[in-house]
């Protein structure tokens, strides 16, 4: 997953690179799948700032638009049985996404998604 900057000073968009290619004149591009932050959905400020959602849109962009690599993990929603047992408990409310590493990673560059 990479961040994709359109305007300076604005929060970067998040995109997953599906493939790279070069056009007939030698310019390098990436085909990217879009993801939106939770705050940019109906959830608005109720969303976890690290949760992202896959959007049914993709496009091609110049490699110069890709700014940084970010960590993204799939955090599946528990089964109904698990949710019924854990839902509403303090441990469920405090659960953290399963980011790789020792937990000291830069939180600004770590995101999770639950829906595909």
Q: Structural domain boundaries of the chain? A: 2-113
Distance CA 24, CA 8 (A): 29
Q: How high is the pLDDT of residue 105?
A: 52
Of 85, 33, 87, 39, the closest CA to residue 59 belongs to: 33
Tokens of 66: 């890709």
Beta-carbon contacts of residue 48 (< 8 Å; ≥ 6 apart) = 38, 112
pLDDT band at 87 (very low <50, low <70, confident <90, very high): confident
How many CB atoms are located within 10 Å of the residue 36 CB? 16
Of 72, 54, 68, 62, the closest CA to residue 30 belongs to: 62
Q: What CATH code is assigned to 2-113?
A: 2.30.30.490
Q: How high is the pLDDT of residue 28?
A: 96
Q: What would the pLDDT profile of 99-111 be if each residue is shown by its tens digit?
A: 876 555 566 688 9
Q: What is the pTM of this model?
A: 0.75
């Amino acid at each position: 997953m990479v961040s994709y900057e359109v305007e300076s000073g604005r929060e970067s968009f998040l995109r997953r690179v599906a493939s790279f290619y070069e056009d007939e004149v030698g310019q390098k591009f990436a085909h990217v799948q879009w993801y939106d932050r939770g705050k940019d959905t109906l959830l608005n400020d109720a969303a976890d700032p690290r949760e992202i959602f896959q959007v049914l849109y993709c496009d091609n962009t110049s490699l110069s638009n890709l700014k940084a690599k970010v960590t993204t993990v799939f955090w599946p929603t528990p089964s109904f049985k698990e949710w019924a047992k854990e839902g509403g408990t303090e441990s469920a409310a405090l659960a953290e996404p399963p980011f790789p590493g020792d937990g000291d990673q830069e939180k600004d560059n770590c995101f999770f998604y639950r829906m595909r």
